[in-house]
Structure 1
Amino acid sequence: MAPLAIATPGKPDIRLRPARPGEAQALSALCLRSKAHWGYDAAFMAAVEPYLKVTDDAISSGHATVAEAVDGTPLGVCQIDPEGHGGSLDLLFIDPEAIGRGAGRLLFEHAKAQLKALGLPVMTILSDPYAEPAYLHMGARRVEMRSSEVFPGRELPWLEVVLR
């Protein structure tokens, strides 16, 4: 995928591009910074860190996408899994400094387009409770609450987006 120059009205330009080999660690660190933005403590962050990884496999298969500023600064990242639950949005994280600039919506729409192009009818999302309002605003709907695999007793929103 060639970089796309997409202007956000009143904001700096944001481009989408495929994640590159060698970026997995830096992009995973962006995911952790984004998650920590919500005030989770160190013990929580240590427990979820293994689940917030951009993988080399996703990068090599074209399933990890970066939103970046015109100067190349990564603003956010998403990772899809076409095999997961019929097609899942595994990761979508925005650097805390870039929240509200439009990178999240661009990545969300791109993930939808990728999964739709693969012939999948639905994109599923196991959401953080803090992220759920943003996903609902972008057209997802809550299907149910699911038990966390990491924290017994914690419930997470299970969301779906119909891909038309």
Structure 2
Amino acid sequence: MTVFVTDGVNFRGACADEAEQLGALALRSKAHWGYSQEQLDAFAVELSFAPEELGPRRVTVAQAGGEILGFYNLDGAPPEGELGNLWLEPARIGAGLGRMLWQHAAGTAREHGFQSLVVTADPNAAGFYRAMGAEPAGSTPSGSIPGRMLPVFRIRLS
């Protein structure tokens, strides 16, 4: 397993036994935006991971001091992939870790031959993706809540 260290944060591939922990982290991160428990329950299915999918989905965790602080995953095959998830522990939102995860994801995507990434974002994260250089690319229906539309962004990596 390759481990990259940036500013005391280690980036490494997720382990199969971390699947449940990552799903819980994603829900805590989603809850940061004030969603109701009913909405969080609806999101839980989409934000859960099977242990065997972590490797193929290129799930990468950021950790420090043995604690997982956030994670992302890259789906698809070059030339265009998808940033399927990017979640942080709520206490880390707004502290620069999201930017570090984004930069690591973009670098990893380039190394794998991706020329662009598509991101289906939580509406509350739209400003973050715009700040990272992603451009609006439409919207798509939520897989969790009927009638809810999610913004889609595209980032060119070349």
Out of 34, 45, 52, the residue aligned to residue 50 of structure 1 is 45
Aligned residue number for residue 17 of structure 1: 12
2:134·2:153 contact (CA, 8 Å) conserved in 1? yes
Structure 2 unaligned regions, length at least 5: none
One-letter code aligned to 1:133:
G
Aligned residue number for residue 112 of structure 1: 106
Out of 40, 51, 60, the residue aligned to residue 55 of structure 2 is 60
Q: How do 1:10-159 residues align onto structure 2 when only pairs under 5 Å count?
A: 13-61=8-56, 63-69=58-64, 71-83=65-77, 86-159=80-153
Q: Percent identity?
A: 34
2:79·2:114 contact (CA, 8 Å) conserved in 1? no
**CA–CA distance in 2 between the matches of 1:146 and 1:60?**
26
Q: Post-superposition, which runs of at least 4 consecutive aligned residues in structure 1 deviate over 6 A?
A: none
Structure 1 unaligned regions, length at least 5: 8-12
Per the normalisation by structure 1, the TM-score is 0.87
* Higher normalized strand content (fraction of residues): 2
Cα RMSD between the aligned structures? 2.0
One-letter code aligned to 2:5:
A
Per the normalisation by structure 2, the TM-score is 0.90
One-letter code aligned to 1:14:
V
Offset at 1:155?
Answer: 1.6
**CA–CA distance in 2 between the matches of 1:161 and 1:18?**
23
Distance change in 2, residues 1:51/1:104 (3 Å): same
Offset at 1:96?
Answer: 0.4
